[in-house]
């Protein structure tokens, strides 16, 4: 047994195992937020030209390898987001409904997600049960704070090994 004042050597610290089966792990909340934006743009399995690594060649059409790599990366991100959303539904149902309504449900005018529309936040707020009485800057700022907290909880759910019901 080690005394409390002894230091731990580098040899005693074990690294966490790498994610298996090509699983995507987000290291920062900002990475998760960017992946949620891509999730909305890639939800139906089509490639959007704005995403993926920049082409190393001159301007023009991308090669098949770049498109396949971009598609593979986005598909892994979407799989990790889906897994984290299932955990978030158990941990925080209101946060789940807010993130789902903003990033994964179709927008009011038929866009793939409400986050792609100017007033899509109102639809997501109503879906989550946050009924905005009016559309002003204060309501939008309040929604943004709630969404930021919900994405933080999604990140916690993504990094958690086990989820227990409250």
DSSP H/E element including 90: helix 64-91
Domain boundaries, the chain: 25-49+65-159
Confidence label for 155 from pLDDT (cuts 50, 70 and 90)? very high
C-beta separation of 82 from 103 below 8 A: no
| Cα(23)–Cα(31) distance, integer angstroms | 15
**For a pLDDT cut of 90, what percent of the chain falls above it?**
22
Q: Please give the mean pLDDT across all residues of the chain.
A: 75
pLDDT (tens digit per residue) in 4-27:
444 434 333 333 343 455 567 888
The reported pTM is 0.70
């Amino acid at each position: 047994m080690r005394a409390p004042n002894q230091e731990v050597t580098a040899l005693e610290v074990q690294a966490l195992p790498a994610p298996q089966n090509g699983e995507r792990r987000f290291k920062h909340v900002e990475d998760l937020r960017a992946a949620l934006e891509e999730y909305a743009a890639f939800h139906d399995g089509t490639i959007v030209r704005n995403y993926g690594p920049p082409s190393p060649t001159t301007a023009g059409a991308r090669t098949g390898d770049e498109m396949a790599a971009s598609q593979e990366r986005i598909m892994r991100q979407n799989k990790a987001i889906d897994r984290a959303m299932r955990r978030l539904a158990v941990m925080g149902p209101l946060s789940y409904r807010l993130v789902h309504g903003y990033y994964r449900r179709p927008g009011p005018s038929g866009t793939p997600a409400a986050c792609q529309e100017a007033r899509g936040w109102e639809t997501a707020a109503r879906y989550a049960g946050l009924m905005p009485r009016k559309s002003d800057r204060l309501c939008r700022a309040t929604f943004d704070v709630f969404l930021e907290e919900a994405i933080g909880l999604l990140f916690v759910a993504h990094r958690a090994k086990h989820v227990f019901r409250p």
